């Protein structure tokens, strides 16, 4: 078993983790990420090319060997209070640290609807990631559906890569979006980003109050059925990119005993969790976008190295990003009609083939897990847990190591 020792261990190579690494780089820092390349969902495969000053500074720190990187490493367990276990292509690595920053980001929320398991139905961010890693969408007819600003970003990227984006179905209302847009007056950069996206998506339908009812296809996706204001119609397509906002990745924090409230890791003003010497930044503390992640990462990086005055300098900016995050989450809150999408035969737990009709009579996620194996597959409830939380208001508070599937030899 390989061993690695560092003063500051950062789990997650996205915006928050990278910002924290730069701020903490006067100490010995190790960034661990489960992807082949750093950058997270926002910057993956483009880290050295993007204009972000944080990204450029990090690349310089890495080149100067002020920050160490361990890619393709999935943290799955804990050996003791100051040692985590990670699986790599070369086996298990013991990660010993003095202080830890959790920057594990977020994942997409998926909601079940009839035939949502057909091939060529992807998560919105998932399809974007696949295309970034080489999947061709040239001349593919793509429908993008769900909720959140990510839909626009994915649509623009897929169009740039040659896809025929037929339409974007946004489940939230026009009234909410108008209110959200008006609130951007105090965020000129975001207004500029929105205008740029809209310009690049000229000719692509953007329908509010619109959502997926079902998918059709024999062996693979052939069409989707959409509904809007009581009207339902069919759209033939090759691919569906679908996502219903984001869910914080809090499993590692939970395993380490950090307090979690309302699905997010609880932190103090210096990004410290309820567990000593463990800090958290970015989406695990609440969904809020890349700006919030960068600011929280900076604060965590300075705080973990006890540069508290430098950390305090970013408090006001963090408050501004948090206010934006609150508006963002309110704008894209899921409508109740989405709870009625699955029928009795709709699969909810894809890993264990558990159907909606099998779950309706249970009172909790624990009870359903015991009786149906819902949440006991390889994703360990990451997909069906978020879905059943919305559908039934269940809470999945049980987190046990390994928090990701690993080879038996690495246990």
Please tell me the predicted confidence (pLDDT) of residue 308: 97
The pLDDT score that the predictor gives to residue 51 is 59
142-172 tens-digit pLDDT:
999 999 989 999 999 999 999 999 999 999 9
How is domain 110-244 classified at the architecture level of CATH? 3-Layer(bba) Sandwich (3.50)
pLDDT at res. 4: 86
Other beta carbons within 10 Å of 353? 14
Among 373, 376, 368, which Cα is nearest to 400's?
Answer: 376
Q: Mean pLDDT across the stretch 130-150? A: 94
Q: For residues 272 and 258, give the distance between their C-alpha atoms in angstroms, rounded to a whole number.
A: 10
Going through 51-111 in order, the beta strands assigned E by DSSP cover 67-70, 74-80, 83-88, 91-102, 106-108
Q: What is the mean pLDDT of residues 26-35?
A: 92
pLDDT in tens, 218-257: 999 999 999 999 999 999 999 999 999 999 999 999 999 9
Decide: helix, strand or coil at residue 31: strand
- The answer, yes or no, to whether the previous bond of 402 is cis (omega within 30 of 0) is yes
Residue 47: pLDDT above 60? no
* CATH fourth-level superfamily of 2-106+247-328: FAD/NAD(P)-binding domain (3.50.50.60)
The answer to whether 100 and 277 have CB atoms below 8 angstroms apart is yes
Count of CB atoms situated within 10 Å of the CB of 232 = 10
Helices (H) and strands (E) in the chain, counts: 14, 21
- The boundaries of every CATH 3.50.50.60 domain in the chain are 2-106+247-328, 110-244
């Amino acid at each position: 078993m390989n061993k690695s020792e560092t003063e500051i261990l950062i789990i997650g190579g996205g915006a928050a983790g990278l910002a924290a690494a730069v701020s903490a780089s006067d100490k010995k820092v190790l960034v661990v990420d489960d992807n082949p390349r750093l950058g997270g969902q926002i910057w993956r495969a483009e880290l050295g090319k993007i204009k972000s000053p944080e990204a450029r500074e990090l690349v310089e720190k890495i080149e100067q060997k002020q920050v160490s990187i361990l890619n393709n490493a999935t943290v799955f367990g804990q050996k003791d209070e100051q040692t985590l276990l990670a699986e790599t292509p070369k086996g298990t690595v013991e990660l010993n640290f003095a202080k830890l920053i959790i920057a594990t980001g977020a994942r997409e929320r998926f909601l079940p609807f009839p035939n949502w398991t057909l091939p060529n139905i992807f998560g919105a961010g998932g399809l974007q990631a696949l295309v970034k890693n080489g999947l061709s969408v040239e001349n593919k007819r793509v429908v993008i559906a769900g909720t959140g600003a990510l839909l626009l970003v994915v649509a623009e990227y897929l169009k740039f890569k040659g896809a025929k984006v037929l339409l974007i179905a946004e489940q939230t209302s026009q009234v909410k979006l108008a209110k959200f847009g008006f609130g951007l007056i105090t965020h000129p950069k975001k207004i500029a980003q929105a205008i740029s996206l809209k310009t690049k998506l000229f000719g692509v339908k953007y329908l509010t109050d619109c959502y997926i009812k079902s998918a059709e296809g024999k062996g693979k996706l052939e069409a989707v059925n959409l509904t809007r204001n009581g009207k339902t119609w069919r759209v033939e397509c090759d691919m569906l990119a679908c996502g219903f906002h984001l869910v914080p990745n809090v499993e590692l924090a939970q395993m380490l005993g950090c307090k979690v409230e309302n699905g997010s890791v609880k932190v103090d003003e210096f990004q410290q969790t309820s567990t000593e010497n463990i800090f958290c930044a970015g989406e695990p503390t609440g969904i809020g976008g890349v700006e919030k992640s960068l600011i929280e990462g900076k604060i965590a990086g300075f705080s973990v190295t006890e540069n508290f005055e430098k950390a305090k300098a970013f408090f006001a900016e963090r408050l501004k990003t948090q206010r934006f995050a609150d508006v963002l989450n309110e704008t894209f809150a899921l409508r109740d009609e989405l709870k009625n999408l699955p029928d009795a035969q709709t699969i909810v737990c894809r890993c264990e083939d558990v159907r909606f009709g099998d779950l309706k009579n249970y009172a909790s996620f624990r009870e359903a897990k015991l009786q149906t194996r819902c949440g006991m597959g390889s994703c360990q409830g990451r997909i069906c847990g978020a879905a059943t939380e919305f559908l039934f208001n269940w809470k999945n508070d049980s987190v046990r190591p390994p928090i990701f599937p690993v080879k038996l030899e690495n246990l």
